[in-house]
Amino acid sequence: MSAVIIYDTKYGHTATYANWIADELHISKYRLDEIGALDLSTYDTIIFGGPIFNGRIKIANLINSELANLNACEIIFFSVGLHPIDRDYFSSICTQNFDYPAQQRVHFYQLQGAVNPEKLKWWHRMMVWFIKKFDHDINQQHIQGLEEAENHMIDLPKRFRKLVSPIVAEVRRHERAISLQ
């Protein structure tokens, strides 16, 4: 199978999803800072994954800038964030982070992230406190997620592994279509 995963992560949850997808499809995965001279255009399918921090997705820059060189590739992107899975929210995040050509071409998936308060950098801990206290527009489930994380109740593997199934199915579908050409 000619597919690869390129992911970014700060606290490891996006890496967990990348591992699950790589295990199911038996493909390689690279962290953003490991890709070096890897020629992405040699793959039929590229799966990008990246966390959302304050509405920003760092790996989106790579997708925006490389898209024109990846004309023959199927491109999938999954975000990992604490905001509950929600079409309107996700669509606004994609519009903010991806240029128009990417918005048209990439297949997008929103996956559920988590925070582990013990591992948070101090500036992120302050931001979380600030979000909980002052962001009155924030979705209540998002706040619940932050609180569950503080109480160590979020169990990513048990609750969320099934979220990768549609991504795995899409990659398999595409690879099957290519093998029939």
Ligand X SMILES: Cc1cc2nc3c(=O)[nH]c(=O)nc-3n(C[C@H](O)[C@H](O)[C@H](O)COP(=O)(O)O)c2cc1C
- For binding to ligand X (CB under 6 A), which residues are involved? 9-14, 51-55, 80-83, 113-115, 120, 124, 127-128
Other Cβ atoms less than 10 A from the Cβ of 30: the count is: 16
Dig out the tokens for 88 from the structure. Answer: 């309107």
The smaller minimum CB distance to ligand X, of residues 31 and 107, is found at 31
The smaller minimum CB distance to ligand X, of residues 2 and 34, is found at 34
Closest to 80 (Cα-Cα) out of 160, 11, 14: 14
Strand blocks (E) in the chain: 3-7, 28-31, 45-51, 74-81, 107-112
Q: How far is the CB of 56 from ligand X (least distance, A)?
A: 8
Q: How far is the CB of 146 from ligand X (least distance, A)?
A: 8
Q: How far is the CB of 159 from ligand X (least distance, A)?
A: 13
The smaller minimum CB distance to ligand X, of residues 131 and 178, is found at 131
What amino acid is encoded at 45 in this protein? T
The smaller minimum CB distance to ligand X, of residues 150 and 170, is found at 150
Q: How far is the CB of 119 from ligand X (least distance, A)?
A: 9
Residues 103-115, buried b or exposed e (16+ Cβ, 10 A)? eeebbbbbbbbbb
- Do 22 and 169 contact (CB within 8 A), yes or no? no
